[in-house]
């Protein structure tokens, strides 16, 4: 385990991918894309390549001059071949050219070539340590610290210090300090970049979660509105279609009247459905661009329920004016869904509807007795969920459940003050 960081640094390790940034870049003209196959040209990358070329030429000339001077002064028997100067130029320039995309590969290249070129040129004298060579290695060391794991970075620093001790022990102290400063500076940059990237990722995920939540809320709102409109009218139409042939019993006049009533209910359902769809499609976020049903239309619900065979009794108490559109719409939908449930599951039952205003609260209750006929199959419970959501959006409460006598009861309390101060359905979309 102790040798693993060194193995990663020398052989198997890899660096983080280069950051995808469009900063410090310019667009490439179309006429030059034959020579430069890219849409944008990175100024930083271009500067690094130019630096690599300059380092190659400068270091090559310095190495050639140094070997000739060493041979002339007698420190060498014969001048080193021209390939040595080329090796020094490659050792200084190639790591700089590689460090942006492959920092570890650049360091491995520098780790092998630079010590060889320096050690070959020493022969017991003080090392030349040209500025080009030092600059090349420090740039690569910085890239490793910025783009690699801290274990790999520490291993690279240790190997750098050990190599300096082997090649020239007298320079070990200065190499240790300078390399440590570069590594710490690069690691600090890495920590800041990582924190910034993590924060940006968290913000992105938060936006995605908010968008997903908004989509779910919008879907729930659409499903609630469509369920309230379609379920009620379809329940009444289905019951009427089943009852009209029985009640008519060969009487064409009564049959025609029953079919006309079914047609009127269908047209009413279509009109209200269009109204709901118009509200849902509003691009400005307003939900009151068209009149919404309120408590003044409860009598229509009661008439439909009575025509379907329910015995409905309505009781009102207190002033029901000035409740606010959000409260009236929610109360209307709760009464509508409760009567629809009674028609589906308790045909022929007696139903009591109570609308009571007490102070800043509207209390409504819809209770039905046991039905006289067979009810429909149990539903999925979407209607009850929708009623609870409507009450919750207004900071109200809703309770629904069977009664001891075998019927069913829905009781809701809707605050009026909250609705007046701006808590409405449009704000909660």
Pairing of strands 350-358, 311-317: parallel
Structure tokens at 232: 């009620």
Average pLDDT score, the chain = 78
What is the secondary structure of 286-298 as a DSSP string?
-S-SSPPP-GGGH
**Which pTM does this prediction carry?**
0.50
Q: How far is the C-alpha of 415 from the C-alpha of 131, rounded, in Å? A: 79
SS3 365: strand
Binning pLDDT at 50, 70 and 90, where does residue 192 land?
Answer: very high
Q: How far is the C-alpha of 233 from the C-alpha of 272, rounded, in Å? A: 10
- What are the structural domain ranges in the chain? 4-167, 210-420
Q: How far does Cα 211 stand from its chain's mean position?
A: 7
Of the candidate ranges 164-168, 177-181, 325-329, the one whose mean pLDDT is the lowest: 164-168
Residue 352 near residue 366, CB atoms below 8 Å? yes
Binning pLDDT at 50, 70 and 90, where does residue 415 land?
Answer: very high
Q: Please tell me the predicted confidence (pLDDT) of residue 376.
A: 66
Please write the tens of the pLDDT for every residue from 339-384. 988 988 888 899 999 999 998 899 999 999 988 877 666 666 677 8
Phi, psi (deg, nearest 5) at residue 246:
-70, -45
- Give the C-alpha distances (Å, rounded to integers) separating 283 from 275, 287, 291, 316: 15, 10, 17, 37
Structure tokens at 23: 């900063």
Q: Which residues pair with 366 in a beta bridge?
A: 353, 410
Q: Please tell me the predicted confidence (pLDDT) of residue 86.
A: 78
The answer for residues whose C-beta is within 8 angstroms of residue 99's C-beta and 6 or more apart is 48, 106, 107, 139, 140, 143
SS3 122: helix
Asked if pLDDT for residue 427 goes beyond 50, the answer is no
> Looking at residues 7-34, what average pLDDT do you find?
70
Q: Please tell me the predicted confidence (pLDDT) of residue 289.
A: 44
As a whole number of Å, the CA-based R_g of the chain is 41
Q: Among the residues of 123-171, which ranges form H helices?
A: 131-147, 150-167
Of the candidate ranges 1-10, 98-107, 251-260, the one whose mean pLDDT is the lowest: 1-10
- Give the C-alpha distances (Å, rounded to integers) separating 325 from 156, 275, 415, 417, 422: 70, 15, 13, 12, 11
Pick from 278, 286, 273: which is nearest to 424 by CA?
A: 286
> Looking at residues 276-292, what average pLDDT do you find?
55
- Give the C-alpha distances (Å, rounded to integers) separating 58 from 61, 62, 123: 5, 6, 22
Asked if pLDDT for residue 282 goes beyond 50, the answer is yes
The answer for residues whose C-beta is within 8 angstroms of residue 3's C-beta and 6 or more apart is none
DSSP summary character for residue 77: S
Class of domain 210-420: alpha beta
Q: Taking CA 29 as the corner, what is the angle to CA 26 and CA 32, rounded to the nearest 5 degrees?
A: 115
Asked if pLDDT for residue 420 goes beyond 60, the answer is no
Q: How many CA atoms within 13 Å lie on the side-chain side of 147? A: 23
Of the candidate ranges 114-123, 251-260, 367-376, the one whose mean pLDDT is the lowest: 114-123
Of the candidate ranges 149-158, 273-282, 416-425, the one whose mean pLDDT is the lowest: 416-425
Q: How far is the C-alpha of 399 from the C-alpha of 352, rounded, in Å? A: 16
What is the secondary structure of 314-362 as a DSSP string?
EEEES--SS--HHHHHHHHHHHHHHHHHHHHHSTT-EEEEEEEEETTEE
The answer for residues whose C-beta is within 8 angstroms of residue 426's C-beta and 6 or more apart is 285, 286, 287, 288
Pick from 4, 6, 17, 9: which is nearest to 146 by CA?
A: 17
Pairing of strands 408-415, 361-368: antiparallel
């Amino acid at each position: 385990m102790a040798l693993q960081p060194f193995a990663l640094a020398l052989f198997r390790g890899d660096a983080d991918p280069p950051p995808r940034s469009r900063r410090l870049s310019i667009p490439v003209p179309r006429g030059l894309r034959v020579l430069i196959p890219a849409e944008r040209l990175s100024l930083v990358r271009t500067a690094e390549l130019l630096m690599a070329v300059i380092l190659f030429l400068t270091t090559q000339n310095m190495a050639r001059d140094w070997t000739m001077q060493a041979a002339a002064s007698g420190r060498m028997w014969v001048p080193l071949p021209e390939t040595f100067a080329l090796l020094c130029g490659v050792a200084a320039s190639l790591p700089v050219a590689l460090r942006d995309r492959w920092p570890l590969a650049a360091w491995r290249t520098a780790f092998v070539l630079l010590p060889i070129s320096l050690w070959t040129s020493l022969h017991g004298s003080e090392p030349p340590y040209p500025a080009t060579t030092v600059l090349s290695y420090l740039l690569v060391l910085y890239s490793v610290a910025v783009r690699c794991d801290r274990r790999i970075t520490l291993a690279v620093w240790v190997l750098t210090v050990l190599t300096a001790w082997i090649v020239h022990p007298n320079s070990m102290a200065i190499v240790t300090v300078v390399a440590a400063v570069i590594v710490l500076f690069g690691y600090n940059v890495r920590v800041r970049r990582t924190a910034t990237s993590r924060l940006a990722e968290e913000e992105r995920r938060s936006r995605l979660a908010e968008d997903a939540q908004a989509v779910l809320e919008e879907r729930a709102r659409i499903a609630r509105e469509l369920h309230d409109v379609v379920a009620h009218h379809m329940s009444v139409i289905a019951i009427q279609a089943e009852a009209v042939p029985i009640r008519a019993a060969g009487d064409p006049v009564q049959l025609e009247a029953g079919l006309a009533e079914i047609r009127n209910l269908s047209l009413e359902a279509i009109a209200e459905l269009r109204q709901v769809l118009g509200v849902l499609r509003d691009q400005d976020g307003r939900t009151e661009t068209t009149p919404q049903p309120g408590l003044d239309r409860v009598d229509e619900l009661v008439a439909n329920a009575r025509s379907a065979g329910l015995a409905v009794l309505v009781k009102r108490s207190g002033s029901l004016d000035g409740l606010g559109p959000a409260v009236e719409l929610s109360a209307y939908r709760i009464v509508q869904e409760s009567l629809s449930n009674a028609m589906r599951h308790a045909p022929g039952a007696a139903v009591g509807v109570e609308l009571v205003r007490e102070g800043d609260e509207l209390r409504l209750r819809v209770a039905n007795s046991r039905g006289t006929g067979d009810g429909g199959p149990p539903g999925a419970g979407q209607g009850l969920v929708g009623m609870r959501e409507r009450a919750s959006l207004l900071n109200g409460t809703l309770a629904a459940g069977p009664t001891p006598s075998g019927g069913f009861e829905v009781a809701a309390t809707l605050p009026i003050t909250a609705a007046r101060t701006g808590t409405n359905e449009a704000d909660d979309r």
